[in-house]
Amino acid sequence: MHQVLVNSFEKKVSWMSKRPGKVFVDTNILLHADMYQHDNIFDWIDALYEEVYIHQMVLDEILSASAKHKVTQYIDDGRWHLFNPDDENCLSDDLYDIYEGYVHQMKQAFRRLDQKKIKQGRRLKGTNDLGEIHCLAAALLISAAIICSNDGDIQEVIDDNELEVASEDETENRKLVQDTLKDFCYYICLHKIAPESNVRKLLKAFQKEKIQELDALLNTIR
C-alpha cells in the first residue's frame, strides 16, 4: 500500500514544473554540465530547480573559462542567484556572523568525518572540502534544503550531524538533501524535462556504474 501511495505521489509530482525550494549547485555538477556536449545540462538545471544558488566559493573554484562564462550568464540574466557572503548587499553584519558560525560547524563536521574514515581504514578525499563546506553553511543560513553535488562526503556529513533547515512556513524543520548526479538524472526524468534516453547517456558519460541504480529508480515511475 505504501509503495502505491509513493508511486501515485511521484506521478503527481512529475507534472510539477519545478523541484521546489532553494538549491545550491556544487562545482562538480557545473563542470559535468560544461563538459557534456550532447545536451544543454545548464538548461536542465534551470528547468528542474525552483531557485538556483551559486556560492561565490564555487564560482571561484571553476577554472574552466567556458563553465564560468555559462554560470555567470545565468546569474547576470537573473535566472540564478549568486551567494557572496562578502557582499554587504547579500548579508548584513549580523547574518555574516551567523554564517561564519555555520562555516566553523561544517569545517568541524568534515574533520570528524575524516577522523572516522581513518579509524575505519577508509580512504580520504584528495581534494579540499571548501566548496562543500561553504555551500552547506549557506544552505543552513538561508534554508536551502537541497545541495546538488556529486561529492561523496556530503550525505554522510548531513546524516552524521542530522543537518536540517527551517521549512518555508517555519512550522517544522526539514532534513537537508543531497542530489547526486544520479539523483539529478532521476528528477529530470520525473519532471519530464528530457527523454530518458538522453538522461541515461549523461549519467553513462560520467558514472557508468550508476546506470543500474538509476534504472531501478526509473522503474518506480514508469
In angstroms, rounded to a whole number, what is the distance separating the alpha carbons of residues 181 and 210? 9
- pLDDT for position 2: 42
Q: Encode pLDDT of 85-126 as tens digits.
A: 999 989 999 999 999 999 999 999 999 999 999 999 999 887
| Grid cell listed for 106 | 561544517
- pLDDT for position 170: 65
DSSP states along 54-89: EEHHHHHH---HHHHHHHHHHHHTTSEEEE-TT-TT
Average pLDDT over residues 158-182: 89
- pLDDT for position 194: 96
Q: What is the CATH number of the domain that holds 184?
A: 3.40.50.1010
Q: Are 10 and 220 in contact (CB under 8 A)?
A: yes
Average pLDDT over residues 159-186: 90
Tell me the H-state helices in the chain.
2-13, 27-35, 41-48, 56-61, 65-76, 93-120, 130-142, 154-161, 181-190, 196-206, 211-219
- pLDDT for position 18: 84
**How many domains are there within the chain?**
1
Cβ burial 183-203 (10 Å sphere, 16+ → b, else e): bbbbbbbbbebbeeeebbbbb
Range of the domain at 205: 2-219
**pLDDT over threshold 70, residue 5:** no
In angstroms, rounded to a whole number, what is the distance separating the alpha carbons of residues 101 and 121? 30
Confidence of residue 129 (pLDDT cuts 50, 70, 90): confident
pTM assigned to the model: 0.89
- pLDDT for position 16: 52
**pLDDT over threshold 60, residue 8:** no
Q: Are 34 and 73 in contact (CB under 8 A)?
A: no
